[in-house]
Amino acid sequence: MRSSFKTALENLSTGGTVTGKDLITILKSTDETEIDALFVTADKVRRLYVGDEVHFRGIIEFSNHCSRNCLYCGLRRYNDKLRRYRMSPEEIIDACDKAAAAGFKTIVLQSGEDTYYSTDVLAGLISTIKQKYDVAVTLSLGERSFEFYRFMRDAGADRYLIKHETADPELFARLRPGTNIQRRLDCLKQLKELGYEVGSGNMVGLPGQEAKTLAEDLLLMQELDVDMAGVGPFIPSEYTPLSRYPRGDLYLTLKVIALTRLILPRTNIPATTALGTIHPRGREMALRCGANVIMPNITPPEFRRHYQIYPGKESLISGSGKLENLQTLVLSMGRKISHNKGSAPKNRFK
C-alpha cells in the first residue's frame, strides 16, 4: 500500500480534515489491496456509527411526466417514445396500503418534475398516509418553491430527496438544460430550513466527469451535512442524447460510496437500484462498503415498466430485486432488517 494512500485513508477514517487531495488519491487508486482496505475501513465505520440494521424503504413512482429535458434521463420531456402515466390518488393510496402491509416503515413518493397534481391533492395524500400508518413519508419531486416545500412539510412529509447529480456547475448546466446548480443548492438549503431530513447524491461516470469532480461531490455533501446520500452509476438510456456513452464503473461507484461513509459516518447511504442493475451483486457489494439502506421499487407493475429513467431496472416482482430475496441477502450477511423508520442517527431526537 502506498504511503500516500495509507495517510489519506487514516486521515479520512479518524475524523481528520477532509481534503480534495486525499479524496482524489483514493479515487484514482487501482491497487486491489488499497481498494480492499478502503472497503473494509468503510464497513467498520458503518458498523460503529449506524450499526448492522438495514432500512428498507419502498418507492412508489406515481408519475413519469417531467417538465425537464435532462440529457441523461429517460423521462426527459422530449422522449416521445415513452408511454406516459399518472397514478390516481386512489391508486397511490392502494400502493401505500400494500407497502405498509409488507412492513415498510418509510414510503417514498417519487415522480418526474410534474406539476399536474395540486398542492392540496399531494398534501391530502401525505396526510392520509400519516393518519393510516406509522410510517415516514419521503418525497422526491424535484425543484419546487419554498411555499410548496412548507405546505408538504405541514401536511406531514418527513424527508425530501433531491440529488445534486454533479457539483460541477458547467457540467450540471450542460446535462440539465435550463437549470443551474445554485437553484438546486437553494432547494436543499430551504428543505433543511423547514426541518426535513434531506437527501442528496450524485451519479458516477457522467460524460465529462473527472476524479476532481467526484471529490467536489463528496465535499459538497459533507458541507450540506445531508441525512441521506445516494450514489449510483450513470446508466445510459435509450432515446437520450447520452445513449451511446459508457455506463459508470462499478468499482469507482463503490469507492465513492465508501468515501461517503468515511466523511459522513452517521448518514444513511442506500445500496442503489442502479448498482443492482449493472451487477447482480451490486447491492451486496455496496452493503459491504458502507451502505445501510435498500430502496425497493414497489410501484404497481402496470406503471413501473414505464418509469424508465434508465433501462433494465431491478424489479421487486422477480429476481434479485424481489423483496424476500433482498431480505434473505441482508440476513445472510449477518446484518439485521430494521423495523423502525430509520432516521439518520443525528436526527433520532426528533
**C-beta separation of 38 from 289 below 8 A:** yes
pLDDT reported for residue 15:
85
For residues 139-162, average pLDDT: 97
pLDDT reported for residue 323:
81
pLDDT reported for residue 318:
44
Given its phi and psi angles, is residue 65 left (phi above 0), alpha (psi -120 to 50 degrees) or beta? beta
In tens, the pLDDT along 30-51 reads 999 999 999 999 999 999 999 9
Q: CB atoms < 10 A from the CB of 280, how many?
A: 11
Helix (H, G, I), strand (E, B) or coil at 111: strand
pLDDT reported for residue 347:
52
Q: Take residue 65 and report the three cell numbers written for it.
A: 411526466
Given its phi and psi angles, is residue 5 left (phi above 0), alpha (psi -120 to 50 degrees) or beta? alpha
Q: Give 88's contacts (C-beta < 8 A, 6+ positions apart).
A: none
In tens, the pLDDT along 46-84 reads 999 999 999 999 999 999 999 999 999 999 999 999 999
pLDDT reported for residue 313:
67
For residues 137-162, average pLDDT: 97
- Angle (CA) 59 322 292, round 5°: 60
Sheet strand arrangement including 159-161: 58-63, 106-111, 136-140, 159-161, 197-204, 228-233
Q: Is the pLDDT of residue 293 over 90?
A: yes
In tens, the pLDDT along 318-327 reads 444 578 888 9
At 324, the amino acid letter reads E
Structural domains of the chain in order of their starting residue, each with its CATH number:
3-8+25-335 (3.20.20.70)
In tens, the pLDDT along 231-264 reads 999 999 999 999 999 999 999 999 999 999 999 9
For residues 183-202, average pLDDT: 97
Element (H, E) at 147: helix 146-155
**Predicted TM-score (pTM) of this structure:** 0.94
